[in-house]
Amino acid sequence: MSEVDTTNVAEEKTPVIEPTSELPPTSTEVSVSNDEKYEFFKVIQDYLDQAAKVVDLPEHVRDMLAQPKNEIIVHFPVAMDNGKMKMFKGYRIQHNNLLGPYKGGLRFHRTASLDDFKALATMMTWKCALMQIPFGGAKGGVKVDVSKLSDAELMRITRRFTHALGNNIGPEYDIPAPDVGTNAQIMVWIMDTFMNQVDHTQKNAQRGVVTGKSLTCGGSQGREKATAQGVVHCITEWAKDNRFDLEGKTAIIQGFGNVGSFTALLLSRLGVSTIATGDHTGYMRTSEGFNAHKLADHVKKNGSIKGYVGGESISREEFFSTKADIFIPAAIENQIGEVEAQLLDVALIAEGANGPCNPAGERILAERGIPVIPDVLANSGGVTVSYYEWVQNLRSENWPLEKVDARLETKMKDAYRRVSFFAQEHGVSLRIAAYGLALEALKTAYAERGIFP
Ligand code: GLU
């Protein structure tokens, strides 16, 4: 098994969650309370409609943004290690490219569905528009359980999927990145496959076909921790606004993949200790706080937090009831419903995952006065540094970490300020404010460009 994050896997029948991907091999599923089929795309469309009213979005623009532009589904064969051939289903949903090339992650997950990809692709459009980076939104992936694959099978699936996508991706057209179940190695395989499909004189111009690559193959300094870094910048800004001294405070983190583990690490540098966490193998608590380095190493080696000696085992209910200052969901969608929202005993929620709060949960959190820094803002550090990687590839440059970090910090803080101001000005939640700002940018661009022909 290669270094693939299997942390965010959710089972349909026996719901489970895993920490947000982009990190090495982890296998972190956590039981979920909501059994019925979750209509993720519909939830995202509802947010669009709420925000559309706030910014007075013309109906035709709302209609264009309510559906993805392209829904690409491919079926492709792969030779498995046992000598048999197996068919796989791959997706690439391209929501919008008004502001720049389609952009967004690839998720390798056994429950991958068209509905989820439509929701996630749409959110990428909002993220990029909000962050003022010249990209549109997309998402895709393959329906597969990566924990059951050998390295060689994973590579063949990746390469064959890339081949099946053909010129539906490209450095000036649609640029994938890591997401749940994928990582830098997979991005490098995609890049290599894509480069080998073009004329040899054009090979090097294709490096930017994916972001989140390894440093040796054209990745950027700071990309690996970027999503978590962005989450932490948002928390820091919120703390400043609320005169909340972070030193000595506590956090609980659901999921310990890329986002969860780097968030724990970066928070510990600010004096915030992570006192509870969990993945598909269960939840754990320690009043002294986890050693983020050690736990991350354990997850890298073992694929999950299971067997880590630095904490006591607790139930999912106990996890959500743990009194702490900050809760960071860093797993998958639909984790905080009514039950969890009632249980939570925190002052702030910062969404490292995409769509972790469902609308019923969010309503209760609002009633209880628990602020939520929404996903499209909180976890946008990942795609922001993806943009820096893409720019470096275009210019054949290699920026030092300090430059990437400084630019990300400025971007995150500016976005946080704008969202916070918009929310106050319009009397809406931070989520609707983030959507509102994204829609304002798209509304202006559509008004200026008009509709072809
Ligand atoms: N998968 C990440 C996200 O959900 C990163 C996407 C990217 O870098 O393009 O934002």
Lowest mean pLDDT among 17-26, 256-265, 285-294, 379-388: 17-26
Q: Is 411 in the pocket of ligand 1 (CB under 6 A)?
A: no
Mean pLDDT of 433-447: 98
Check if 375 has its Cβ closer than 6 Å to any atom of ligand 1: no
Which residues are paired to 175 by β-bridges? 103
- Which residue is it, tokens 């290699």? 398
Distance CA 5, CA 23 (A): 5
Model confidence at 36, pLDDT cuts 50, 70, 90, reads low
Domains delineated in the chain: 3-30+68-217 (3.40.50.10860), 226-378 (3.40.50.720)
Give percent of the chain with pLDDT exceeding 70: 92
Distance CA 153, CA 132 (A): 38
Cα of 221 from ligand 1 centre, angstroms: 16
Instruction: Report which DSSP code applies to 12.
Output: S
pLDDT at 280: 84
Please give the distance, rounded to the nearest whole angstrom, from the Cα atom of residue 412 to the centre of ligand 1. 15
Q: What is the mean pLDDT of the chain?
A: 92
Q: Which two tokens stand for residue 316?
A: 């999912």
This prediction's pTM: 0.93
Cβ(389) – ligand 1 distance below 6 Å:
no
- pLDDT-above-90 percentage for the chain: 89
**352 has a pLDDT exceeding 50:** yes
pLDDT at 177 over 90: yes
User: Which of 30-34, 53-57, 265-269, 431-435 has the weakest average pLDDT?
Assistant: 30-34
**Long-range CB contacts for residues 193-202, cutoff 8 Å, separation at least 24:** 193/158, 193/159, 193/162, 193/163, 194/162, 194/169, 194/170, 197/163, 197/166
Instruction: Give the tens place of pLDDT for each residue, 80-100.
Output: 999 999 999 999 999 999 999
Does the structure show a pLDDT above 60 at 8? no
Average pLDDT in the 153-181 region?
A: 97
Report, as an integer, the average pLDDT of 26-34: 37
Q: Which stretch of 17-21, 144-148, 212-216, 417-421 has the lowest confidence by average pLDDT?
A: 17-21
Measure 380 CA to ligand 1 centroid, in angstroms. 7
Active-site residue among 69, 139, 213, 443? 139
Q: Cis omega (within 30 of 0) on the bond before 178?
A: no
Is 23 a residue whose pLDDT tops 80?
no
Q: How many CB atoms lie within 10 A of CB 69?
A: 18
* pLDDT tens per residue, range 39-48: 999 999 999 9
190-210: average pLDDT: 97
